[in-house]
Amino acid sequence: MQCSEPPQTIAAPDRGHLLTEQINPQSLHLDELSPLELVDLFNQEDYRVVEAIGKAREPLAAAITLTAAALRQGGRLFYVGAGTSGRLGVLDAVECPPTFCTPPDLVQGILAGGTPAMMRSSEGLEDQADQGAAAIAERSVTDRDVVLGITAGGTTPYVHGAIGAARERGAKTLFIACVPASQVAIEVDVDIRLPVGPEIVAGSTRLKAGTVTKLALNILSTGVMVQLGKVYGNRMIDVAVTNQKLKDRALRILQDLTDLDRSACQDLLNASQQSVKLALMMHWGNCSAATGQDYLDRCQGNLRQALQAIV
């Protein structure tokens, strides 16, 4: 059974100096550990993930600020990656519409190899810088957009090709890598480095590198959506009411924030065309759906600002 594409005769530059490719001294005898010892070792190593996020707090905050500003002006956010890094970008992108009721094109994941690569590894495609650039052109990226390149080892040609093309088009660019900038340099607006050290299985960046990337993307996309007014307090008031679970969540949010009973909240939700944010605007602003939506539109969807404006 094949686990990857057939090998090709290609030049292979030595990447052994990269932090993500080095040998972890804590796991030299991994194949001799008991299952419990193995779990304990993973747990010990994963502490480095949280530490790396903490050390990257300032560039993560800068990325949130830059991206939120771009999206307010009609821009889009693109995640670009290959392999695990690219799949994590796609995962974060597709979770934005149900969580924050964003249009599908607002946050997009670009994966080397496209949709088929989500289910079957296409590792050879990451070496094609021109295809990364082509993906940016295909989506008509402009100077209003933000492009985030994700590559654990920092060297993926597909990602570098995409970042270069995005910069040529005037887009803002972000970069996430798990190696220090001294090992792989790049010109971007915000450079986010998340060095978590060598992997327990040497070079298997779906482990700590994948985990820290997922955390960083969680922080970035959620932070941006908070800045855009998609959250009130800690409630997802732009939740898309598309199934029973989300309808229940919407009703509980309304109950908790308004002290109305569930039946009254259902009536309010119906009157707002299943929009929790508009329902709250109508209730607290004592206004019709049309008036409430008008104030929300004036305030770019920010409920707090709309409520202040209507008083």
- Same domain? 129 vs 266: no
* 139 token code pair: 């989506």
- Same domain? 222 vs 303: no
**Domain-embedded: residue 7:** no
71 near 148, Cβ under 8 Å? no
Name the domain count of the chain.
Answer: 2
**Domain-embedded: residue 99:** yes
CA-to-CA distance for 117 and 126, rounded, in angstroms? 11
CA-to-CA distance for 52 and 38, rounded, in angstroms? 22
pLDDT at 182: 94
Q: Of 12 and 185, which is predicted with more confidence? A: 185
188 near 159, Cβ under 8 Å? no
pLDDT at 121: 75
Asked if residue 263 has pLDDT above 50, the reply is yes
Asked if residue 152 has pLDDT above 70, the reply is yes
56: Cα within 13 Å, side-chain hemisphere: 30
Asked which of 227, 259, 292 is the last residue of a domain, the reply is: 227
* Partners of 176 in beta bridges: 150, 192
Asked if residue 267 has pLDDT above 50, the reply is yes
pLDDT digits (tens, 9 = 90+) for 286-302: 999 999 999 999 999 99
pLDDT at 123: 66
**Domain-embedded: residue 2:** no
pLDDT at 240: 82
- Same domain? 303 vs 159: no
Average pLDDT score over residue span 83-112: 95
Asked if residue 226 has pLDDT above 70, the reply is yes
Asked if residue 1 has pLDDT above 50, the reply is no
CA-to-CA distance for 247 and 189, rounded, in angstroms? 40
DSSP 198: S
CATH number of the domain to which 209 belongs? 3.40.50.10490
Q: Residue 161, Cα to own-chain centre: how many angstroms?
A: 20
Percent with pLDDT over 90 in the chain: 82
Asked if residue 232 has pLDDT above 80, the reply is yes
**Domain-embedded: residue 9:** no
49 near 212, Cβ under 8 Å? yes
Domain containing 129 equals 19-227
Burial of 66 (0-12, 13-18, 19+ CB in 10 A): middle
Asked if residue 138 has pLDDT above 50, the reply is yes
- Same domain? 218 vs 264: no
Average pLDDT score over residue span 221-238: 94
* 201 token code pair: 């299985």
Annotated active-site residue 5? The verdict is: no
- Same domain? 158 vs 274: no
- Same domain? 257 vs 136: no
- Same domain? 176 vs 111: yes
Task: Indicate the range of 19-33, 136-150, 202-216 predicted with least confidence.
Answer: 19-33
**Domain-embedded: residue 33:** yes
Among 5, 37, 51, 95, which one carries the catalytic annotation? 95
Annotated active-site residue 199? The verdict is: no
Average pLDDT score over residue span 132-145: 98
pLDDT at 16: 61
Asked if residue 5 has pLDDT above 60, the reply is no
Average pLDDT over the chain, rounded to an integer: 92
Among 21, 45, 126, 199, which one carries the catalytic annotation? 126
pLDDT at 21: 83
CA-to-CA distance for 290 and 18, rounded, in angstroms? 57
Quick one: pLDDT band at residue 120, thresholds 50, 70, 90? confident
∠ at Cα 86 (116, 105), nearest 5°? Answer: 80
Percent with pLDDT over 70 in the chain: 95
**Domain-embedded: residue 124:** yes
pLDDT digits (tens, 9 = 90+) for 37-68: 999 999 999 999 999 999 999 999 999 999 99
- Same domain? 285 vs 258: yes
Q: Of 196 and 13, which is predicted with more confidence? A: 196
- Same domain? 287 vs 184: no
CB neighbours of 118 closer than 8 A, spacing ≥ 6? 87, 90, 111
pLDDT at 239: 85
Burial of 36 (0-12, 13-18, 19+ CB in 10 A): exposed
SS3 of residue 144 by DSSP = coil
- Same domain? 214 vs 135: yes
